[in-house]
């Protein structure tokens, strides 16, 4: 009887719409946000706790980019799969304790494909064991055989039902095979297509699905090519298009003399130009709008419709009701039967929201050209969601003094420093430090902590291991 009771209790918990630990983590996240970002559009603390990333596990990279966020010691650290897997387990266990049982985490450092495939796969398994949906961050310059070695075990059986990868492509990167010094973004389109095609083949050949993001660093040198990249990548099987205005972080030797800030608004304007339409981001916000802009669209054939229209009062009202009753539900990496059970329980608990959900769906279909067009596009395999994102990181020279004051509990009287403190307080991208018991914003990790961390790793994992000699 105790076994049956325990099983029933477990089933009740895993099918609960929002896990109680997730609710506690969400409430803590909301209470810790700066007041200025606690707006009706804010999703942190209401729908999600934010993204997570690893650090100090494989800082080495085999491309030489200008600019580059890595510290001067990053490429002097040996790739060591055992160290990577151990550190991932420690960091993700800490995130699991503080941020609840489910989340999204990036396997990030230097270049992930430098890891032996078995260690790469082991790191992904460790992240999944901690309840995270992992995304491998890469420059994409690897072969299909490496992807197969990560996705399949030695018998050819799939290790994962789905994998997530983010490929970073821009003309500021040097050393890519086939185009070591690209002059334009357009030169990289065949390489973007090749990268995405590997995952199409993985699904066709082995039934492993994927979620793909396309990342691009933006500087004054390539900002006017963002529109062209957007237009090109929209015709490739990427699920997310992410752009990052360059922040002055990392090795000074990797930065050009003509560097100047690129505004988040300027990048978004060029995304819209490439998409050929207005893409409203104001309806939903992650963290501080000075740091992040994002929008999800439904693409039916060539028609794109925003998932949430901030100019539509009915959409805004639906957002409030759905966040109030369903905020915090998480489906990533969850078995379909559990998703179905969660949704059923949520709707049974709030039956009055069923018409709200249906109305939201009908308005979305109308924006996409009507229900008939949506159904036709779905049958033709031309229905998909695309996410547009701009992450606006901050310069190291601004982050360091702001973080130092925050550590002392001091709010700066300087407007610029206070702005940095507000943005750090609302950061949606977090790194885990189980050794100190702290979670830190990504800008702090890269601006303040990476240099010393990589210097230490250089001693722990030297490029040439020291060989002991007997006296």
CATH number for 53:
3.20.20
- Whether 286 shows a pLDDT value over 70: the answer reads yes
Q: Assess contact for 402 and 424: CB atoms under 8 A.
A: yes
Kindly state whether residue 129 falls inside one of the protein's structural domains: yes
Residue 327's pLDDT is 94
Kindly state whether residue 43 falls inside one of the protein's structural domains: no
Q: How many residues does the chain have?
A: 471
Average pLDDT over residues 151-172: 97
Residue 259's pLDDT is 66
Q: Report the chain's mean pLDDT, rounded to a whole number.
A: 94
Kindly state whether residue 85 falls inside one of the protein's structural domains: yes
pLDDT tens, residue by residue, 394-448:
999 999 999 999 999 999 999 999 999 999 999 999 999 999 999 999 999 999 9
- Domain of residue 427: give its range: 49-308+387-460
Kindly state whether residue 321 falls inside one of the protein's structural domains: no
Residue 112's pLDDT is 98
Residue 9's pLDDT is 86
Kindly state whether residue 55 falls inside one of the protein's structural domains: yes
- Whether 467 shows a pLDDT value over 70: the answer reads no
Kindly state whether residue 100 falls inside one of the protein's structural domains: yes
Residue 471's pLDDT is 47
Structural domains in the chain (count): 1
Residue 105's pLDDT is 97
pLDDT tens, residue by residue, 155-165:
999 999 999 99
3-state secondary structure string across the chain: CHHHHHHHHHHHHHCCCCCHHHHHHHHHHHHHCCHHHCCCCECECCCECCEEECCCCCCCCCCCCCCCCCCCCHHHECCCHHHHHHHHHHHHHHHHHHHCCCEEEEECCCCHHHCCHHHHHHHHHHHHHCCEEEEEEECCCCCHHHHHHHHECCCCCECCCEEEEEEECCCCCCCECCECCCCCCHHHHHHHHHHHHHHHHHHHHHCCEEEEEEEEEECCCCHHHHHHHHHHHCCCCCCEEEEEECCCCCCHHHCCCCCCCCCHHHHHHHHHHHHCCCCCCCCCECCCCCCEEEEEEEEECCEEEECCCCCCHHHHHHHHHHHHHHCCCCCCCCCHHHHHHHHHHHHHHCHHHHHHHHHHHHHHHHHCCCHHHHHHHHHCCCEEEEEEEEECCCCHHHHHHHHHHHHCCCCCCCHHHHHHHHHHHCCCEEEEECCCCEEEEHHHHHHHHHHHHHHHHHHHCECCCCCCCCC
- For the beta sheet containing 438-441, the strands, ordered from the edge strand earlier in sequence to the opposite edge, are 303-306, 292-300, 383-391, 240-245, 209-218, 162-168, 132-138, 103-107, 51-53, 429-433, 438-441
What percentage of the chain exceeds 90 in pLDDT?
Answer: 88
Average pLDDT over residues 71-90: 95
- Whether 2 shows a pLDDT value over 60: the answer reads yes
- Whether 281 shows a pLDDT value over 70: the answer reads yes
Residue 271's pLDDT is 98
Name the band, by pLDDT with cuts 50, 70 and 90, for residue 25.
Answer: very high
Name the band, by pLDDT with cuts 50, 70 and 90, for residue 254.
Answer: low
Kindly state whether residue 26 falls inside one of the protein's structural domains: no
What percentage of the chain exceeds 70 in pLDDT?
Answer: 97
Taking the C-alpha atoms of residue 170 and residue 71, their distance in angstroms, rounded to an integer, is 20
- Whether 1 shows a pLDDT value over 70: the answer reads no
Kindly state whether residue 219 falls inside one of the protein's structural domains: yes
Average pLDDT over residues 33-61: 97
- Whether 468 shows a pLDDT value over 70: the answer reads no
C-alpha dist (Å) from residue 352 to 47, 320, 343, 365: 20, 14, 14, 21
Please give the backbone phi and psi of residue 26, each rounded to the nearest 5 degrees, phi first.
-65, -45
Tell me how crowded residue 35 is: count the other CB atoms within 10 A of its CB. Answer: 8
- Whether 389 shows a pLDDT value over 70: the answer reads yes
Q: Which of 204-213, 258-267, 270-279 has the lowest mean pLDDT?
A: 258-267
For residue 135, list its beta bridge partners: 106
Q: Token match 């759905």: residue?
A: 322
Residue 333's pLDDT is 78
Taking the C-alpha atoms of residue 84 and residue 461, their distance in angstroms, rounded to an integer, is 11
């Amino acid at each position: 009887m105790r076994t049956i009771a325990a099983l029933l209790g477990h089933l009740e918990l895993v099918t609960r719409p929002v896990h109680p630990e997730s609710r506690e983590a969400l409430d803590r996240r909301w209470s810790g946000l700066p007041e200025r970002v606690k707006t009706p559009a804010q999703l942190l603390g209401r729908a999600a706790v934010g993204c997570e990333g690893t650090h100090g596990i494989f800082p080495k990279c085999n491309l030489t980019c200008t600019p580059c966020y890595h510290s001067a010691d990053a490429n002097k650290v040996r790739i060591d799969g055992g160290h990577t897997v151990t550190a991932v387990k420690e960091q993700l266990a800490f995130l699991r304790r503080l941020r609840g049982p489910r989340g999204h985490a990036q396997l990030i450092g230097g270049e992930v494909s430098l890891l032996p495939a078995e260690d790469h796969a082991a790191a992904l398994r460790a992240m999944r064991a901690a309840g995270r949906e992992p995304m491998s961050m890469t420059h994409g310059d690897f072969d299909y055989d490496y992807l197969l070695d990560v996705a399949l075990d030695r018998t050819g059986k799939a290790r994962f039902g789905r994998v997530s990868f983010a490929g970073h492509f821009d003309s500021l990167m040097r050393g890519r095979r086939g185009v070591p010094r690209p002059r334009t973004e357009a030169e990289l389109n065949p390489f973007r297509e090749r990268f995405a095609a590997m995952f199409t083949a993985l699904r066709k050949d082995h039934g492993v699905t994927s979620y793909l993001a396309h990342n691009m660093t933006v500087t004054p040198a390539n900002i006017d090519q963002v529109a062209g990249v957007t237009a090109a990548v929209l015709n490739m099987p990427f699920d997310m298009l992410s752009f990052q205005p360059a922040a002055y972080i990392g090795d000074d030797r990797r930065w050009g003399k003509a560097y100047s800030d690129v505004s988040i608004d300027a990048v978004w304007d060029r995304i819209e130009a490439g998409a050929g339409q207005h893409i409203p981001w104001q309806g939903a916000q992650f963290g501080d709008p000075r740091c992040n802009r994002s929008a999800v669209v439904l693409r039916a054939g060539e028609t794109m419709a925003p998932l949430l229209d901030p100019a539509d009062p009915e959409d805004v009202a639906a957002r409030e009701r759905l966040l109030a009753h369903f905020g915090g539900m998480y489906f990533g990496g969850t078995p379909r039967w559990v998703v179905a059970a969660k949704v059923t329980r949520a709707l049974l608990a709030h039956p009055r929201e069923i018409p709200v959900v249906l109305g939201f769906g009908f308005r979305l279909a109308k924006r996409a050209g009507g229900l008939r067009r949506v159904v036709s596009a779905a049958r033709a395999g031309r229905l998909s969601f695309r996410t547009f994102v701009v992450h606006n990181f901050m310069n190291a020279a601004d982050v360091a003094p702001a973080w130092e004051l925050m550590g002392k509990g001091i709010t700066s009287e300087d407007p610029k420093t206070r702005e940095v403190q507000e943005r750090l307080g609302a950061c949606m991208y977090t790194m885990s430090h189980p050794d100190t018991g702290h979670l830190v914003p990504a800008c702090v990790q890269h601006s303040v902590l990476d240099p010393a961390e990589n210097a230490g790793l250089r001693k722990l994992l030297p490029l040439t291991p020291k060989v002991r000699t007997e006296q």
